[in-house]
């Protein structure tokens, strides 16, 4: 399995435009045929293309410079220079490209096949054939090609998933992902086992499916970057439903308040999305305590499910509810 990298910094330089040509038509019966210098070709663009077969920005660790080709200069007989080839670079779907200097979003690629230009090629220069006038019939004037754009670009990967699993460390999110999907994330009985998001796909009986993203555990202050929180939280931007996974053997109401508060502080709009609650580790608590916790949280208007991801208890009703919300 390739290492998951969700941030990268690259230098993008588009191709310069080719220079316009200074040339004159010289034929047997037209020794003074006039200016015939062609235009230079446009420089190549640096283009990002979303590819559903990719899931990490790891390649850019070894390829930090993206350089497109320059356009060719114009030639005689009014021949235009060849345009420089675009440099098309594949990135995972969900990649956002920002200008490092200004913060401007250059490309936001969600759908496979979607493209975005992060550096535009320079325009070709004009040949002397454009500068002839009745009083200047043999101009020795041409313009140089324009410079291609160059900039440092920050790439951020935001997972595209239908459901985002959120909770504190060691709440059992990875175990639940493994229970619901064919994904096999690293699972251990200590906090911060998951250090990068994992994706899995739930297959339904009616041949439909949906994707789930396991977001690494959040801690208080995550929206301020504590525990790499901002890097984790931004993966929720494209999820349709939030599934809060809470540890029944702890204090689920307090944990819910912490996680919800961090999400709201990071992006208030996220908290308005549909949300369900999975009270996990049912096998570790008394039934009376579990039922009381479910009723207390449901009283606040939440849709709450009692589950044991480890024992695969309560998973089917949870899947049915998620499927219903997704439509």
CA-nearest of 266, 243, 250 to 319 is 243
pLDDT at 228: 42
Pairing of strands 7-13, 65-67: parallel
Distances from the Cα of 237 to the Cαs of 133, 233, 271, 277, in angstroms? 59, 8, 11, 19
Q: What is the pLDDT of residues 159-185, one digit of tens each?
A: 778 998 988 888 888 889 989 886 554
What is the value of pTM for the model shown?
0.71
Neighbouring C-beta atoms of residue 240, cutoff 10 Å: 17
Per-residue pLDDT of the chain (327 residues; tens, 9 = 90+): 456 677 899 999 999 999 999 999 877 766 667 899 999 999 999 999 999 888 889 889 888 999 999 999 999 999 999 999 999 999 988 899 999 999 999 999 988 899 999 999 999 999 999 999 888 888 999 999 999 999 999 999 887 789 989 888 888 888 899 898 865 544 434 333 444 567 788 888 877 888 888 887 664 544 444 444 456 677 788 889 999 999 999 999 999 998 898 888 888 888 888 999 999 999 999 999 999 999 999 998 999 999 999 999 999 999 999 999 987
- φ and ψ at 212, to 5 degrees? -125, 135
pLDDT at 229: 43
pLDDT at 138: 87
pLDDT at 266: 81
Domains assigned to the chain = 1-157 (2.70.210.12), 163-326 (3.40.50.300)
Q: In what order do the strands lie in the sheet with 209-214?
A: 198-203, 209-214, 163-166, 241-247, 275-280, 303-306
Q: How far apart are the first and last CA of the chain?
A: 32
């Amino acid at each position: 399995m390739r290492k998951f990298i969700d941030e990268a910094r690259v230098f993008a330089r588009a191709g310069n435009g080719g220079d316009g040509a200074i040339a004159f038509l010289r034929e047997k019966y037209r020794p003074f045929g006039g200016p015939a210098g062609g235009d230079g070709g446009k420089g190549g663009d640096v283009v990002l293309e979303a590819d559903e077969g990719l899931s990490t920005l790891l390649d850019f660790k070894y390829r930090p410079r993206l350089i497109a080709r320059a356009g060719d200069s114009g030639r005689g007989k009014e021949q235009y220079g060849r345009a420089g080839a675009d440099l098309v670079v594949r990135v995972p779907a969900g990649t956002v490209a920002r200008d490092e200097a200004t913060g401007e979003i250059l490309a936001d690629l969600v759908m496979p096949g979607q493209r975005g230009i992060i550096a535009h090629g320079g325009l070709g220069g004009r040949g002397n054939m454009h500068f002839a006038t009745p009083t200047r019939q043999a101009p020795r004037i041409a313009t140089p090609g324009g410079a291609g754009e160059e900039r440092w670009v920050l790439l951020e990967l935001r997972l595209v998933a239908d459901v985002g699993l959120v909770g504190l460390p060691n709440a059992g999110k990875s175990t639940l992902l493994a229970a619901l999907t064919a994904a096999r994330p690293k699972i251990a009985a200590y906090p911060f086992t998951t250090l990068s998001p994992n994706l899995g796909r739930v297959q339904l009986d009616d041949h439909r499916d949906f994707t789930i993203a396991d977001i690494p555990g959040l801690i208080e202050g995550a929206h301020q970057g504590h525990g790499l929180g901002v890097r984790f939280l931004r993966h929720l931007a494209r999820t349709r439903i939030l599934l809060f996974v809470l540890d029944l053997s702890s204090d689920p109401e307090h944990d819910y308040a912490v996680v919800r508060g961090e999400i709201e502080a990071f992006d208030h709009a996220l908290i308005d999305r549909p949300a369900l609650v999975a009270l996990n580790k049912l096998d570790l608590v008394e039934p009376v305590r579990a039922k009381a916790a479910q009723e207390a949280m449901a009283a606040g208007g939440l849709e709450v499910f009692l589950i044991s991801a480890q024992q695969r208890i309560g998973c089917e009703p949870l899947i049915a509810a998620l499927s219903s919300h997704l439509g």
